[in-house]
Amino acid sequence: MSRIKQRFADLKAEGRKALVPYITAGDPDPALTVDMMHALAQAGADIIELGVPFSDPMADGPVIQQACERALAKGTTLRRVLDMVAEFRRNDAQTPVVLMGYLNPIECLGWAAFGEQAATAGVDGLLAVDLSSEEAAELTPVVRDAGLDSIFLVAPTTSQARVARICEHASGFVYYVSVKGVTGSATLDVDALADRLAWLREHTPLPLGVGFGIGTPEAAAAVSRVADAVVVGSVLVKEIARIGEDRQALCQALAAVLGDMRRAMDAVEA
């Protein structure tokens, strides 16, 4: 059983929902990322989404764009991100790690090489933002053969016809984009979200994660009533931008923000 599947099974048994923090690897410095990942895991992260920085992150808002710029300025590459995961795995064999990013750095490394190296490093899944299900037929089998889950986005605009094909390619969980917009944009409407998730559950038995626009403990708690996983990113990345390269302050701040969300979510289910 994949680490992601195992994690969702455990959570279900405990009656809890998954909290999935996102940070951009290498922001503010590649030497700080692994400690921040451990801090997130200790503060209640069930899965860690690690952003692979890209020069042209067209689906991201300014907060994550700037994180990418900071990480790239410090020499972060896809290979170094895989090294970070391998280092994280030395002290954490349980917390699943999903890489989130854009296709070109992966294409550049080569799909087969990426699958093999990512699996060896201990990566559990890949979410390639600009890989549409139309183009996925040749690429996702390579990733899956390496033992990685393929996480796909479903959007407010996704049609009935498309959702079936997306779910065909998806494994691990399905990521529902809660707003029309880039990461870190407008706030979401939980009632509308509940309807869409109910519709999505008709198409897949996989757990449903929700992200984009969840920035407060209240929002995380509200989403956790209807979703299986809550993804938070920009709010954490803003903290990183505010603090800069202070290892201890970064780990404390991330733990504080995530801890508040964890407690708010667990209070819902208690």
Partner 1 sequence: MADTQDNIAARWRGMPDARGHFGPYGGSFVAETLMAPLEALSQAYAQYREDPAFMAELDRDMQDYVGRPSPIYHAERWSRKLGGAQIWLKREDLNHTGAHKINNTIGQGLLAARMGKQRIIAETGAGQHGVASATVAARLGLKCVVYMGSEDMRRQAPNVYRMRLLGAEVVPVESGSKTLKDALNEALRDWVTNVDDTFYIIGTVAGPRPYPQMVRDFQSVIGREARAQMLERCGRLPDSVVACVGGGSNAIGIFHPFLDDETVTLCGVEAGGDGVDTGRHAAPLSAGRAGVLHGNRTYIMQDEHGQIGLTHSVSAGLDYPGVGPEHAWLKDIGRAEYVSVTDSQALAAFHELTRVEGIMPALESAHALAYAAELARRGASDDIILVNLSGRGDKDMASVAEAEGRSL
Q: Please report, as ranges, the residues that interact with partner 1 according to CB under 8 A.
A: 54-62, 65, 69, 72, 77-79, 102-109, 129-132, 134-135, 152-159, 162, 166, 177, 180-182, 185-186
We find the least distance from the C-beta atom of residue 94 to partner 1, in angstroms, to be: 30
CA distance 207 to 22: 18
Residue 17: CB atoms within 10 Å: 26
257-261-262 Cα angle (round to 5):
115
- CB 147, min distance to partner 1, A: 23
CB of 258 to partner 1, least distance (A): 25
Identified catalytic residue from 27, 46, 60, 228: 60
Minimum CB distance to partner 1 smaller for 42 or for 185: 185
**Judged by CB, which is closer to partner 1: 165, or 247?**
165
| Alpha helices in 21-77, H assignment, sequence order | 33-42, 62-73
Annotated catalytic residue 107? no
In whole angstroms, what is the distance from residue 153 CA to residue 168 CA? 12
Known catalytic residue: 60?
A: yes
C-alpha–C-alpha distance, residues 78 and 73, integer Å: 14
Q: Are 230 and 210 in contact (CB under 8 A)?
A: yes
Helix (H, G, I), strand (E, B) or coil at 60: coil
**List 27, 46, 49, 228, catalytic entry:** 49
- Alpha helix (H) ranges present in 74-139? 78-91, 103-109, 111-121
- State which residue, 66 or 224, has the beta carbon closest to partner 1: 66
Nearest-approach distance from CB 60 to partner 1, in angstroms: 8
Active centre residues (catalytic): 49, 60
